[in-house]
């Protein structure tokens, strides 16, 4: 699958997961719940959001991180003015670029050496950058100097 197609699918999965989480506040026959966490690095350069939800006992999760200033070119899969955002989900395979804008900075700071988890995805903050990884070892690393999808 081409990177652009994966990116579109990844963005669609994020939207679906957000809608799934919204079901938690709407009474229905389906059993659904959801939650989210957001953080930034101590310098405020990297901003991340984790969203998780359960529908009929199946847990779904998404981690999405963006960077304000980077020393690398934006992913070719994203049009100009977009990108610098990476995501991984409990459904997808590898981490991937996400062609969406992410400019809202949370107040919460994830200190260097700390980690946070939600819905099967763990993000950790280090001096070198942020890594978000799921149980099968797939995810992404993002820093001012570089990024890596795995």
pLDDT tens sequence across 82-140? 656 788 887 776 888 777 665 577 999 999 999 999 999 999 999 999 999 998 899 99
Rounded to whole angstroms, the Cα distance separating 138 from 83 reads: 20
Decide if 77 contacts 147 (C-beta within 8 A). Answer: no
| 138 half-sphere exposure, CB direction, 13 A CA radius | 14
Is it the case that residue 77 has pLDDT exceeding 60? Answer: yes
Nearest partner of 8 among 81, 80, 87, judged by Cα: 87
**What is the predicted pLDDT for the residue at 103?**
56
Outline where DSSP puts E strands in the chain.
32-40, 46-55, 58-67, 85-89, 96-97, 115-118, 121-126, 129-134, 139-142, 147-149
Domain chopping of the chain, boundaries:
3-149
**What is the predicted pLDDT for the residue at 76?**
72
pLDDT tens sequence across 12-44? 444 444 443 333 333 344 556 789 999 999 999
């Amino acid at each position: 699958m081409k990177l652009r197609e994966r990116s579109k699918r990844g963005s669609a999965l994020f939207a679906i997961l957000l809608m799934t989480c919204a079901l938690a506040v709407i009474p229905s026959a389906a059993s659904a719940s959801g939650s989210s966490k957001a953080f930034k690095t101590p310098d405020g350069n990297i901003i991340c959001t984790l969203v998780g939800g359960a529908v009929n006992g199946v847990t779904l999760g998404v981690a999405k991180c963006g960077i304000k200033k980077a020393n690398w070119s934006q992913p070719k899969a994203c049009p100009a003015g977009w990108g610098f955002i990476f995501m991984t989900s409990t459904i997808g395979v590898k981490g991937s670029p996400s062609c969406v804008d992410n400019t809202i900075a949370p107040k919460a700071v994830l200190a260097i050496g700390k980690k946070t988890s939600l819905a099967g995805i763990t993000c950790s903050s280090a001096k070198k950058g942020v890594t978000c990884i799921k149980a099968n070892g797939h995810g992404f690393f993002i820093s001012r100097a570089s990024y890596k999808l795995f």
